[in-house]
Chains A and B, each alone.
Chain A
Amino acid sequence: MSTSLLFSLCGIALFLLGLYVALTTSAMLRRILAINIMGNGVFMLFIASAYQRGEDGVLITDPVPHALVLTGIVVAVSATALALTLVCRLHELSSASHEGPE
């Protein structure tokens, strides 16, 4: 089994693992973690597809997927930050509304 395929399969496993947890958990922070793991799985697939050996066994990596993954990582961190901001805000609002009537 080639290295590229091995890591591709690992990427798919990560994606599905993340998807499973994201769909089943109800804790928001954990769901965000799971979505990040999903993303890492997809990135792994890109990076694995870039990893190829030429006919003489020399390593040739395709730079395009690397650039795509770099973009993807930045987008992922932005989305995570927005999600976390919302989780915190939600937490504040709900604790405020719980204490309100007292």
Chain B
Amino acid sequence: MMHLFDLLLILGLLSFATLSLTVRDVFTSIVLFISTGLIIALTWARLGAPDIAIAEAAIGAGLTGALLLAAWRRLQPAVTDQRTHCRNGSSSPTGADDERH
């Protein structure tokens, strides 16, 4: 029973990690990375390391995830800029980005 759970954890961990490193879209990749972090936290709780599980969930998954998302957002302007250029011609509203003008 325990072994089955272990195998599931390891399989889940490896597949999430692989997915997060191979999926094309960066945003999805970050979200998958955060999920990987949470599974890792679970694994560490399973391995009798609750201290580290809390730390991994809070720092490894939580704060690293927030940092990655923040950086991802900041890398966006170039994209929205192109969109703005397009919009100058076609004037199609694109939601929240309107405030940028």
Contacts and interface: CB of A to CB of B under 8 A. Distances in A.
Interface string B4-29: 00110010011001101110001001
Interface residues of A, number: 41
A34 B19 CA distance: 11
B86 interface: no
Interface of B: 2-3, 6-7, 10, 13-14, 17-18, 20-22, 26, 29-30, 33, 36-37, 40, 43-44, 47-49, 51-52, 55-56, 59-60, 63-64, 67-68, 70-72, 74-75, 77-78
Given A14-B14, A50-B49, A74-B59, 7 more contacts: A13-B14, A30-B21, A37-B36, A47-B43, A47-B49, A47-B52, A76-B64
